[in-house]
Amino acid sequence: MDFERENFDLSGPLHLTCVQWDNAHHRMSVAASLVQAVYILERDRQEKRKDQNALAPPWWAFFHFQLLRPLVDDVDSSIFGAIFEFKPPLSPRNDTLYRSPRYVIAFRGTLTKQHSVSRDIELDIHFIQQGLHQTSRSTIALNAVRNMVATVGDSNVWLAGHSLGSAMALLTGKTLAQTGTFVESFLFNPPFVSAPIERIKDERVKHGIRFAGSVITAGLTLAMKAKQQQQQPPPQQQLQQGKQPQQQKDLCVASFDALAAWVPGLFVNPSDHICSEYIGYFEHRRKMEDIGAGFIERLATQNSLGGLVMSAFGKESEALHLIPSASMTVNVMPARDFREAHGIHQWWQPDLRLERKLYKYK
């Protein structure tokens, strides 16, 4: 079964013989295929498959990409990402290349194989604890993307990732966006740190739980902000100490607002409890605005309960799943099981039923 799923001729998007780069489905399929290529690069390494026996190359060569270099974890030497360069064949029709990338940096998710599973699970735990940004793998990923963007410009680079890999791409994209650098991103089944409320069928119950959560989160945010202001010396005392008075500015809000212009692509499946809460996250924000509770939600949407608790104990955290804007694509095709709902393979199937919606933060 693994061989069949890794073999491009058996499982790949063979129907995409001519990619139209301005077609959203084609772009999604290519990005997902390059993420799959990273999975198989690591599997080739584990199984010692080389040259003609390697299964990864067709996943990028079919779309005229070349492997520039893999990204290797410094702890277990596993391949967790790769940089691909687009090398289209010579063609007089330059219009067919409109919106094509020059480089794609892709990240795989967790592999449940003994050679890499312990390190991957360790990083999964770091994500849940909102500490993925403190890991060496994230540093390697961020440096690779920063160097590429500095060399060719942000408009020529795509980010792509699946599951844990989409969290890595999200962390990198958010970090760059805070400095005004916006990289087009394809985040497949991105994990959301929350109870899977979206799985509840009763809409009133779902809204009630989310409303209560927003009120609690907003209340804690205001309480912690008031406490921080109380602990800060008054301006006169700061001047006496030879310091400039600190500006009373909510850095969390400023950082969140700075991200609003970055619109990553989220690709989620309602049957996947790891990522489905993104649907409720954005829809709940819209509903709160509709009922006049926008102020509460604006505080809640940029803070997590876990992050607030950690902050209260003086611990640094980064709630990656909280983002202001997104272009969300939902696969509404029924899934047979969780593996199918969470899998990367779904995103290049030709007969998908997709719903797309743009969420812009105000």
Predicted pLDDT of residue 248: 37
Q: Which tens digit of pLDDT belongs to each residue from 169-208?
A: 999 999 999 999 999 999 999 999 876 676 776 667 766 6
| 67 neighbors 82 (Cβ within 8 angstroms) | yes
This prediction's pTM:
0.84
Q: How many domains does the chain have?
A: 1
| 108 neighbors 80 (Cβ within 8 angstroms) | yes
| 312 neighbors 124 (Cβ within 8 angstroms) | no
Residue 264 lies in a domain: no
Predicted pLDDT of residue 224: 61
Q: From CA 324, how far away is CA 305, in angstroms rounded?
A: 17
With cut-offs at 50, 70 and 90, classify the pLDDT of residue 246: very low
Residue 225, Cβ neighbours under 10 Å: how many? 15
Q: From CA 6, how far away is CA 8, in angstroms rounded?
A: 6
**First CA to last CA across the chain, in angstroms?**
47
Whether pLDDT at 296 is above 60: yes
Residue 146 lies in a domain: yes
The pairing of beta strand 265-268 with beta strand 326-331: parallel
Residue 69 lies in a domain: yes
Residue 276 lies in a domain: no
Residue 68 lies in a domain: yes
Residue span of the structural domain in which 52 resides: 2-188
Residue 317 lies in a domain: no
The pairing of beta strand 65-72 with beta strand 79-86: antiparallel
Question: Percent of the chain scored above 90 by pLDDT?
Answer: 60
Q: For residue 138, which of 193, 177, 189, 81 has the smallest C-alpha distance?
A: 81
The upper half-sphere exposure of residue 206, i.e. CA atoms within 13 Å in the direction of its Cβ, equals 16
With cut-offs at 50, 70 and 90, classify the pLDDT of residue 147: very high
List, in sequence order, every residue forming a beta bridge with 67; answer none if it has no partner.
84
Residue 263 lies in a domain: no
Q: Which tens digit of pLDDT belongs to each residue from 338-359?
A: 999 999 999 999 999 999 999 9
Residue 98 lies in a domain: yes
Predicted pLDDT of residue 159: 98
SS3 for the chain is CHHHHHCHHHHCCCCCCCCCCCCHHHHHHHHHHHHHHHHHHHHHHHHCCCHHHCCCCHHHHCCCEEEEEEEECCCCCCEEEEEEEECCCCCCCHHHHCCCCCEEEEECCCCCCCCCHHHHHHHHHHHHCCCHHHCHHHHHHHHHHHHHHHHHCHHHEEEEEECHHHHHHHHHHHHHHCCCCCCEEEEECCCCCCCCHHHCCCHHHHHHHHHHHHHHHHHHHHHHHHHHHHHCCCHHHHHHCCCCCCCCCCHHHHHHHHCCCCCCEEEECCCCCCCCHHHHHHHHHHHHHHCCCHHHHHHHCCCCHHHHHHHHCCCCCCCCCCCCCEEEEEECCCCCCHHHHHCCHHHHCCCCCEEEEEECCC
Token code pair at residue 293 = 């509770």
Task: Tell me the mean pLDDT in the region 5-26.
Answer: 94
- Report the alpha-carbon angle 112-49-61, nearest 5: 95
Q: Which tens digit of pLDDT belongs to each residue from 202-232?
A: 667 766 666 666 666 666 666 666 655 565 5
